[in-house]
Amino acid sequence: MRYISLIDAMGSTLEISKIVLGGAPLGTAINREKSFEIMDYFISQGGNTIDTARVYCDWLPNGHGVSEKTIGEWVKARNNREKINIITKGGHPRFNSMHESRLSERQIREDIESSLNTLQMDYVDLYMLHRDDENLPVGDIVDILDDLVKEGKIRAIGASNWNVERIIEANDYAKRNNKTPFIVSEIQWSLAQCSPKMFQDDTMICMDETQYNRYLEIGMPVIAYSSQAGGVFFSGYKADLSDALDKHKKYVTPTNCIRYRKLLQFCEKRNCKPSAAALGYIMYNQLPATAIIGCSSLEQLKDSMSAVALRLDKEYIDYIFSL
């Protein structure tokens, strides 16, 4: 396993594995026993970071808080809190009103306190706000998070689905006022070219050329969610994606068809799996990055973790993206 190094608010190093285990299905789509088995295997392979959120899995009956609850129970059972990085997120709008901000001090505190209680933990290693509200002064948001850091509830802060320019503005404020800065951004990013329109959610931020170049300029690491693009590139489809199932049709674009064809050619040449090569694009990118992986079984996790053994370089990335 490889890692990226972040610096928390106290100046300590926070090592994040280049593959992060996505916690959304833990305890719901995957039962408690299988969830424990998956987390056990993940750490046995050098993984040390699990990503969850207060809203996982609010979209399921009786799903609220189950992901955090299952992760917390596993950490307690394995007595490994000091060896595991826990990422959770708050400030997400209600799903029936995605444009209604939930970034007041009361709401942010309510979310982090609920997360800590459910996780059965005194602190989380990395706390992210799940959405931004650009109508609010960014300094007000930074002040709230800085207080939570000083209270010992959070080691470090990040942003999820924030525009990079807004993150830069927040960190400029933090620097001027001796506050805690954002140290990482979590956005949608994969080998597939995507846009918020694809997901019918204009509150999402997807990696694009402008965002990418700005992250390179400021040297900020990125945590990629939906890093496997729903599995479209390793579902065994024809090279032109003409047989893609309905759940993957949103990814069928001229650009993605070209990338998929080149991915298959590369994998045949290197004798590797498309799943590993697709994740490798994130893991070995010149932008410091980690990839969140989702899985519904131990077999899927093992397949994704095989990306660790694959060493890729700039030549691979240039080949995939030379249209």
Considering the domain 3-233+276-311 in this protein, what is its CATH number?
Answer: 3.20.20.100
Q: What is the mean pLDDT of the chain?
A: 93
pLDDT of residue 98: 84
Token pair in block for residue 65: 């808080």
Tell me the mean pLDDT in the region 142-160. Answer: 97
Tell me the mean pLDDT in the region 1-30. Answer: 93
pLDDT of residue 309: 83
Instruction: Specify whether the CB–CB gap between 88 and 55 falls below 8 A.
Output: no
pLDDT of residue 128: 98
Tell me the mean pLDDT in the region 41-62. Answer: 93
Structural domain boundaries in the chain: 3-233+276-311
How many helices (DSSP H) and strands (DSSP E) are in the chain?
A: 11, 10
pLDDT of residue 60: 84
Location of structure tokens 């800590």: 116
Q: In whole angstroms, what is the distance from residue 90 CA to residue 127 CA?
A: 8
pLDDT of residue 96: 85
State the DSSP string of 207-243: --HHHHHHHHHHT--EEEESTTGGGGGGS---TT-TT
Tell me the mean pLDDT in the region 124-144. Answer: 97
Q: Is the pLDDT of residue 52 over 80?
A: yes
Residue 322's pLDDT band, with cuts at 50, 70 and 90, is: low
- Do the strands 222-225 and 182-188 form a parallel or antiparallel pair, or are they unpaired? parallel
| pLDDT above 70: percentage of residues in the chain | 99
Tell me the mean pLDDT in the region 166-183. Answer: 97
Greater pLDDT, 268 or 147:
147
Q: Is the pLDDT of residue 192 over 90?
A: yes
Q: In whole angstroms, what is the distance from residue 105 CA to residue 109 CA?
A: 6
